[in-house]
Amino acid sequence: MANTILVGAQWGDEGKGKIIDVLTEGADIVVRYAGGNNAGHTVFIGKRKYVLHLVPSGILRKNKLCVIGNGVVVDPIGLVEEIEGLKKLGVNVNPKNFVLSETAHVVFPYHRELDAQREVLKGENKIGTTKRGIGPAYGDKAARVGLRVNDLVDPARLEEKLSVRIRENNIVLKSLGAKPLSFKKVFAEYLAAGKFLKPFVTNTVVLLHEAMRRGDNLLFEGAQGTFLDIDHGTYPFVTSSNTTAGGACTGSGVPPHRMDRVVGVMKAYTTRVGEGPLPTENAEIADMLHAMGREFGATTGRARRCGWFDSVATRHATMVNGIDDLAVTNLDGLDTLEIVKVCVAYRHGKTRYDFVPNDAQILAECEPVYIEFDGWRTPTSKAKTWKQLPPKARAYLKAIAELTGAKLAIASIGPAREQTIFV
């Protein structure tokens, strides 16, 4: 399999968790490289549902090593809860199958509080964040005032650095009318979490390079999606990390020339949770999917906004990520439709765009240009092979892959491992 980066090609929630679980079979190590517990990656094994937030989705397979890389921001309280939750579900998480970078940055309660307060200040221009403190934590990292995991697991350093940060942040919080934090309480909680996590903490850069020398195959688990990337997304309606393929290098310490393949995951339609432009948004599709009990956020439970497949966006994603292979998920969500539309360009006044304009305001004003496909109106979720898919569904998949400009490698027709067709 060599070293593979898997990214979301849309606005997040493309089904990355499910595809990671499938591809982990052929990998030795699964690495998260960006984001934090704003992510929610769902994997079904049999009837049991797992939602991973920080721990790589590869943890659900035996004898695989899972790594949280330096590019991730880690909420240690959330991580401890997640590990305990997995243990309750029978998934053993120990330092042999899970390690955490000593240079990953740590999310503190003041990050979460500031995240919430900034959203209130933004009023109707709010981003619709997950309120997990992601933006302020990456902000502190860039401002060089963040604490890293190696600070968290050293009680004396934690005490010293945290007291300075709480003092400064309490001034800000008070001025925003929010409640200041108790240093004593936060310190005690984080001290305990640091103690719990210490056995997992290591130099993951050196570890990954040693693994590559042994010939191990690495699988990089992207979080969020291309259009939530801090540079390439619909700024300011984005997250605060580089979610795109380049982030896998900076967020893990594995250099670009060691990456062999990029897999782009996309739904057969489009969804977005949170605010910001979504050119193909369509209320009927949203109502249909919500009525089926689908498209509710895995992290916040919010109803996702839904729309037609946007090939302008996915083509752009192919460009910025260098996507080789496509995994198209949730094909079954379109099974009942008579007509299926696909956006092939945007119109803004007299201008026609075949790429995603950088200005979120312009993007919000764009009208999609659609082409139409005949619906297949046949359940697809039981198909085992490409040939067993209805011909019209195959035609649709081929067309969206061609418009996206990458090779169709996987079609997913249900949440389970078995509901995966290799093309």
Instruction: Kindly list the catalytic residues.
Output: 13, 41
273 binds, among Mg ion, ligand IMO, ligand GDP, none (CB under 5 to 8 A by kind): ligand IMO
Give the residue, chosen from 3, 130, 242, 380, that forms a contact with ligand IMO under the rule CB under 6 A. Answer: 130
Interface stretch with ligand IMO, choices 6-14, 162-170, 262-270, 347-355 (CB under 6 A): 6-14
Instruction: Give the nearer residue to ligand IMO in terms of CB position, either 129 or 380.
Output: 129
335 contributes a contact to Mg ion by CB under 5 A: no
Phi then psi for 5, rounded to 5 degrees? -100, 130
**Residue 32 lies near ligand GDP (rule: CB under 6 A):** no
Cα 52–chain centre separation: 10
- Which of these ranges, 7-15, 76-84, 129-137, 308-316, lies near ligand GDP under the rule CB under 6 A? 7-15
- Residues 270, 280: contact at Cβ < 8 Å? yes
298 binding Mg ion? (CB under 5 A): yes
Residue 40 as a binder of ligand IMO (CB under 6 A): the answer is: yes
Q: Which is nearer to Mg ion, 162 or 248 (CB)?
A: 248
User: Should residue 334 be labelled a site residue for ligand GDP when binding is judged by CB under 6 A?
Assistant: no
Q: What is the 3-state secondary structure (H, E, C) of 151-208?
A: HHCCHHHHHHHHHHHHHHHHHHHHHCCCCCCCHHHHHHHHHHHHHHHHHHEECHHHHH
Q: Dihedral sign, CA of 73, 77, 79, 82?
A: negative
Which of 383-391's residues contact partners 24+ apart within 8 Å by CB, and which partners?
383/413, 383/421, 384/421, 385/421, 386/411, 386/421, 386/423, 389/331, 389/413, 389/421
Chosen residue from 64, 111, 132, 341 binding ligand IMO by CB under 6 A:
132
SS3 content of the chain, % helix, strand, coil (to 5): 40, 20, 40
Structural tokens at position 318: 């192919």
Question: In the stretch 214-233, what mask flags binding to ligand IMO with x, by CB under 6 A?
Answer: ---------xxx--x-----
Query: Which residue stretch of 38-46, 118-126, 157-165, 250-258 sits at the interface with ligand IMO (rule: CB under 6 A)?
Result: 38-46
Question: How many CB atoms lie under 10 A from the CB of residue 364?
Answer: 15
Contacts to ligand GDP by CB under 6 A = 8, 12-18, 40-42, 44, 298, 329-330, 332, 412-415
